[in-house]
Structure 1
Amino acid sequence: MNLWNKAALLKQLWALLFKQDKLWVRWVHAYYIKRGSIESVTVKSNTSWLLRKILDTRELLRDIGGWEVVSSLQKFSIKRTYKLMQDNFEKVSWRRLTCNNQATPKSKFILWLALLNRLATVDRVSKWNRECSTLCKMCGIQNESVQHLFFDCDYSKSVWSAALQVIGMSPESTAGGELRKAVQKARSKRSKNRLYVMLCTECLYAIWIQRNCKHFKGILLSPIAVVKEVLFKVACNCNENDRHRLLLT
């Protein structure tokens, strides 16, 4: 957001130079710049806060290479400017899984945290010098981690199996295999693949909710009840054709 704000301020600086038919630009030139130039005008103590911020971007403009790299055909591009100011980061393989996804925002957020291994599972909590049992909150047999909680736990396996059976698919044997399949299908526009991505996202969120309910309230719904809630959420967010497919099942 900080970089985007700077790119937007640069657009206002560009307007001061190239949009002098605008009333506010003419006012700035008349009262602040006068007969000087944008490049050399001094920021004074009586200059408004907003104009100071706009003029402060002159140094940023020089750093990224001048107007030629951020504008074309007399148009300024905030998007191009924003990308120029960004560092070069490697694109993650699962970016389409979080962006090209029609699931509910909360479920996509939990999916994102799970992909980054940032959920507060007990294997992570125990590293924060907290005394707690590391066993899974739902099965109580193995240590709880993202992989175990969502893919290896018997409860989770039952949820995955029942949910994916609705669209005629079966869960993968490993967490990596399930995620690779979801990433691959997130690139597709086919109806069945869209449903698969939504079901996976909502199932993962539902399992996390049940884990917290078991831990804090001692309540755990049956896998069938969880799947019914998942199917309801998917039906509410998918298009009419996909909803019809779910109703037929």
Structure 2
Amino acid sequence: MKAHKYLEAAGISQADFLQGPTFSIRKTYNKLRGDFPKVQSRKMLCNNQGCPRWIFIHYLAIYGRLATKDRLIKWSINCNPTCPLCENWPESNNHLFFQCPVTHEVWEKILTWQGIQRQIYTWDQEQRWANKHAHGNNARAEIYRMALSGCIYYTWKERNMRVFQQKKKTTAVLVKQIIQDIHTKGEKKPRNAKRLRELNFYP
């Protein structure tokens, strides 16, 4: 066989292959690939029914790649370090999600809308909570993933509107927009639609 070198690389001899009752391409592939640690955020991003732009911004936030003011200053870009949302604290990824009083209020209302009663954690703690409690394929987990991505996206969008266009939206408007968009996207999947019908469309 011309492919015997690949079998040997996977730890399977040609004799074992010919004499064995079954052969699994999947197992051979996994042996050739080797062992890699699973990315904890994969469920948050890969199994997310939200808009692609939500997921993209969520991805950048997870890996700290958004151009927040603390990063701009590190790049020697002269700018006001104050958060444009609360106008009180230095802007950073950790501050925006969700220690800023404005985004804290938005995320708290989104959680309450889902029926989740808990305190708002730091960014790293929020990711760990999501990875632990919202990794399943049930409707509640899928809607949570959408809600988190939507909240991150609209937080970043509102931040940019205030920086570049000097326009502001209230927290009530932001919450309403996020929830209505989740309803619009979630209605496409029957089990999510059933769960969303149990929640308010207008918070």
TM-score of the superposition, structure 2-length normalised? 0.78
More RCO (CA 8 Å, sep 6+): 2
Identity of counterpart residues, as a percentage? 28
Residues 111-190 of structure 1: pairs in structure 2 closer than 5 A: 111-170=58-117, 172-175=119-122, 176-190=124-138
Task: Please tell me whether the aligned partners of residues 199 and 230 of structure 1 are also in contact (alpha carbons under 8 angstroms).
Answer: yes
Quote how far apart the aligned CAs of 1:73 are.
8.8
Shift of residue 144, structure 1, vs aligned partner: 0.9
Q: Quick check: 1:185–1:194 contact (8 Å CA) kept in 2?
A: no
Q: CA deviation at 1:240?
A: 2.0
Equivalent residue number for residue 222 of structure 1: 170
Partner of 2:53: 106
2:166 is paired with a residue of what secondary structure? Answer: coil
What one-letter code is carried by the residue in structure 2 that aligns with 1:147? N
Cα distance in structure 2, aligned partners of 1:163 and 1:177 = 17
- SS of 2:114's equivalent? coil
List gaps (5 residues or longer) in structure 2. 187-191
Q: Is the 8 A contact 1:61 1:67 kept in 2?
A: no
Matching residue within 147, 153, 173 for 1:199 = 147
Does structure 1 residue 246 correspond to structure 2 residue 199? yes
Q: TM-score with structure 1 length normalisation?
A: 0.65
**For each residue in 1:198-217, what CA deviation from the matched residue of structure 2 results, as whole angstroms up to 9, or x when unmatched?**
21111111101101111111
- Cα deviation digits, residues 197-243 of structure 1 (max 9, x gap): 22111111110110111111111211111111111221122132023
- Give the counterpart letter for 2:168 in structure 1: L
Relative to structure 1, is the Cα distance of residues 171 and 133 closer, same or farther in structure 2, using a 3 angstrom cutoff?
farther
The count of residues paired between Structure 1 and Structure 2 equals: 193
Unaligned runs of 5+ in 1: 1-16, 18-38, 40-57
Task: Tell me, in whole angstroms, the C-alpha distance in 2 between the residues paired with 1:186 and 1:177.
Answer: 13
